[in-house]
Amino acid sequence: MSDTALVLGGGGLTGIGWEIGILHGLARAGVDPTGADLVVGTSAGSVVGAQLTSGVLSLDELYERQLVDPKGEIPATMGPAMIARYAWGVVRSRDAKAYGIRMGKMASAIRTAPAEDRREVIAQRLLSHDWPADRRLVVTAVDTTTGELAPFDRDSGVGLVDAVSASCAVPGVWPPITIDGRRYIDGGVHSSANAALAAGYAKVLIVAPIAMGGGPLPTPRAQAAKLAAAGSKVVLITPTREARRTFGRNVLDPARRAPAARSGLAQAAAHVDEVRRLWQD
C-alpha cells in the first residue's frame, strides 16, 4: 500500500470554508494532514485541494482568506424545483453512470452564465494554475455523454483551471466545461466524495461536507467502509448539526462561507485525537 491520502468532498462555497476550517483546526492542534501523498478533490474539494497543494499560502492564510469579503464570486442558488429534478434523477437512474448522463443532459439544456465567465471565477480562486509537482492531486469531473467519472491529474494533459472548473460545474447552475471536445460537469454527480480513488492507500482521511448519498450514489460513509474492508485505516469527518446550520439553506451563497469556516474550525477539536492516531500510527 501507498501511505497517506486526503479526500476532500464537494459542498459548494460553504463546503470550501468548512473544509479549510477543519484542516486549519487540525493543524493548529499539531496534526496537519495536508501533506498527504495523494489529495483527491471533488467540486468544493477540488478548489481546496488545489489551494493546499499550491504551496503559495499557509493554512493560517487560507483560513483568513475565507473570512474576508468574497469578491469576484457570483451568487447562485438551487431552488426547490432544481433540487426536485436532482432527486428524481437519482430515483430513475440504475447506477452512477446513468445518473451522470441524465444530469449531463439537464446541464446542457439549461441556460446559465457563460463558461468563460465561470472559468474566470475559478481561476481567481486558485493560487496557482499549475499542477503540483511534488505529489499527486486528483480532480474529479463527470463526462456528460458517458456519465463516467473523469479523474484529472498532472498526467492527464488537462490544465488545472479547466479541471477544477469542470469539477465545480454544478448541473443546472453552472455551465458544463468543454475540454478537448468533451463536456464535463461536477464530480459530485458521481459521488459527493469519490473516496474510492484513495483505494490502495494505507491511511485515508475523508473530509466530506455532504454526508448523504442516495440510490446509485454511495455515501462517504459507505465508501469509507469499503476502503477499511480492503485494509486501509480510515477516518471520516462530516459536518455536525451545528455546522450544517451555519451553511444555511444555500451552500452556493458566498456570504455563508465565513460562518462555515468558523464552524469547521470549532468542530476540528473533536477530531484531533482520531486523526492523530491515524496519521502518526
The catalytic position among 143, 153, 162, 186 is 186
Give 178's strand partners: 183
The cell 437512474 sits on which residue?
93
Query: Is the separation of the CB atoms in 269 and 23 below 8 Å?
Result: no
186 is catalytic: yes
Please state the φ and ψ torsions of residue 228, each to the nearest 5 degrees.
-65, -40
Rounded Cα–Cα distance for residues 58 and 81 (Å)? 40
Please state the φ and ψ torsions of residue 29, each to the nearest 5 degrees.
-90, 5
Rounded Cα–Cα distance for residues 52 and 39 (Å)? 9
43 is catalytic: yes
Question: In 10 A of CB 251, how many CB atoms?
Answer: 26
Q: Of 224, 177, 210, which Cα lies nearest the Cα of 10?
A: 210
Give 187's strand partners: none
Tell me the CA distances in angstroms from 89 to 92, 175, 234, one per residue in order: 5, 18, 30
| C-alpha neighbours within 13 Å on the C-beta side of residue 198 | 37
The catalytic position among 43, 46, 167, 232 is 43
Pairing of strands 2-8, 38-42: parallel
| Catalytically annotated residues | 43, 186
